[in-house]
Amino acid sequence: MIKEEVPRSAARLARRRFLTLTGAATAVAFATNLPAGSTANAGTGSLSDDPFTLGVASGDPLPEAVVIWTRLAPRPYEPLGGMPYHAVSVQWQVATDERFRRIVRSGTASAKPEYSYSVHVDVRGLEPGRHYWYRFKVGRYLSPVGRTRTAPAPWQRVDQLSFAVASCQSWPDGYYTAHRHIATEDVDAVLFLGDYLYEYGISTAGGLRYVTEPVPSQFRTEADTLDRYRLQYALYKSDPDLRAAHQNAPWISTWDDHEVQDNYASLTSRTNAPVEDFLVRRASAYRAYWEHMPLRTPAPRGPNYMLYRRLRFGRLAEVSVLDTRQYRSDQADGDGWKADSAVRRDPARVLAGAQQRQWLLDGVRGSHATWNLLANQVIMSRMDLDPTVGNLYNMDAWDGYGAEQQQVLDGLAALRGRNPVVLTGDVHAAYALEMKRDFADPASQTFGVELVATSISSGGNGQEVSANGQKFLDGNPHLKLVNERRGYIVLRLSQHELRADYRVVPYIDRVGAPVSTVKSFVVEAGNPGLNPG
């Protein structure tokens, strides 16, 4: 895999600035080995409470491997999660049945304070394309049992696959009822496309959740330090529906902006903070993200992390996971929805960056899979907010980076036979779009589709179609669906077709909402386009 970087001059400057930062807090936050006291004692005698309050998870399935995860935090809102300040031994087991009568892999991992007592085990030597069950043990405490699934062998002919697609889960905006329903879907994996958490401070009342006990005072301020991001993840993972969705299937995750700061761009913060300060914040956010997600080692070291990657599911599907935050140029014209401009179309401005862009197109070109899924954060297709008053584009989406957008779209159009399917989050609405060689011409050839998952909770209860949503429908004939309720997409793939079921819940300001399929589309292999399902 080609390693992507920020532009070389910026990367060198960023690293020099980061490495010259002083202060004990910075040194401790990003150390990989703390003094001997943090690693010498592997005892568990001081654990008087269940350490598995944040649940278990698995992710990034390979044909013979999968990552299993947990984090020890008996009192998750206390410093160190209520853990003693030394490493703790954690036993793990993987079995072919949920009763663990046939354990096929087991071992011991070390949960260390410098990684917030998170555990990432890359379990190897598994069989392709089958379910496994896993659990952890510390002292007398057993974790919940998680279910996972390995990917099919690379050259295996696979008759069917299924994925849930989700994004955007602001904790105070409402309950994660959609995740409870995802947990009941029998999918091979969950594709989570960003905004796993939001960095904003949280009120005492907990927003739309109307909590019975006040949210602790340490959550009032915005997350911008390593400890504060860790607290935010602990609060989000306190949700039982989110834990259930993690427990039921492996996740393939990527980040967007709110895991660090709203609409940040590479080295540029939303508030234009000094680069030195923002690099510390970005390093803290990336470190906390890795600590709390089922990702492979190594952990991030400093303010950069290689997140984009590709996973193969036999000859039926490949998933290319993008990172459209770490390498992008600053948004044009001060961000927001703006009219077309030379700055928007400047070829020097990038969203994915040259190396990631080449990696993406080379991967799709060389793919032997029937379907090529692109796990993407922000809308890639052309989207005009209101064509009647002149082109208005979202400067934070691919539209804000017109030259690179066109390069990627042209590249995918040339690879129409590879069945590219772009999967997107970010906008808190369900969209379905046909990707056109010329978006201004409805009769232009369709070369792929973009399926946009609405949010899990961000935006509150939502509605069917807002005034802006209707503007999108009226002004973008390649847009075939707008729905602004909360929910997710279920994809079901075969050699002949892809079916997308848009699943929504009617409310999230209280628990117990039912789920329904608001719209279904079918895409034929070799014949891109959205057909009624």
Burial class for 107, CB neighbours closer than 10 Å (0-12, 13-18, 19+):
exposed
Question: Which domains does the chain possess?
Answer: 36-149 (2.60.40.380), 160-195+235-259+308-532 (3.60.21.70)
Return the bridge partners of 59, or none. 67, 251
Helix (H, G, I), strand (E, B) or coil at 331: coil
Cα distance between residue 331 and residue 259, in whole Å: 18
What per-residue confidence (pLDDT) applies to 45? 52
Cα distance between residue 385 and residue 475, in whole Å: 7
Pairing type for strands 160-166 and 131-138 reads unpaired
Residue 184: DSSP 8-state: T
What per-residue confidence (pLDDT) applies to 46? 67
Give me the chain's average pLDDT, please: 92
User: For the chain, what percent of residues have pLDDT higher than 70?
Assistant: 91
Cα distance between residue 131 and residue 141, in whole Å: 24
Residue 45: DSSP 8-state: T
Residue 50 structure tokens? 């269940």
What per-residue confidence (pLDDT) applies to 390? 76
User: What pTM was estimated for this model as a whole?
Assistant: 0.93
Cα distance between residue 327 and residue 202, in whole Å: 29
Contact 193, 169 (CB under 8 A): no
CA atoms within 13 A on the CB side of 269: 17
What per-residue confidence (pLDDT) applies to 325? 98
Cα distance between residue 325 and residue 266, in whole Å: 6
Which positions of the chain have pLDDT values less than 70?
1-46
Contact 94, 80 (CB under 8 A): no
pLDDT in tens, 48-99: 899 999 999 999 999 999 999 999 999 999 989 999 999 999 999 999 999 9
Distances (CA, A) of 51 to 39, 119, 189, 241, 290: 18, 12, 26, 19, 19
Contact 197, 232 (CB under 8 A): yes
pLDDT in tens, 375-391: 999 999 999 987 777 78
User: Residue 393 phi/psi, 5° resolution?
Assistant: -120, 155
For tokens 């690293």, what's the residue? 15
Q: Mark out the alpha helices in 95-207 (DSSP H runs).
A: 177-182
Burial class for 310, CB neighbours closer than 10 Å (0-12, 13-18, 19+):
middle
Cα distance between residue 118 and residue 297, in whole Å: 12
CA 298 to chain centre: 18
pLDDT in tens, 280-334: 999 999 999 999 999 999 999 899 999 999 999 999 999 999 999 999 999 999 9
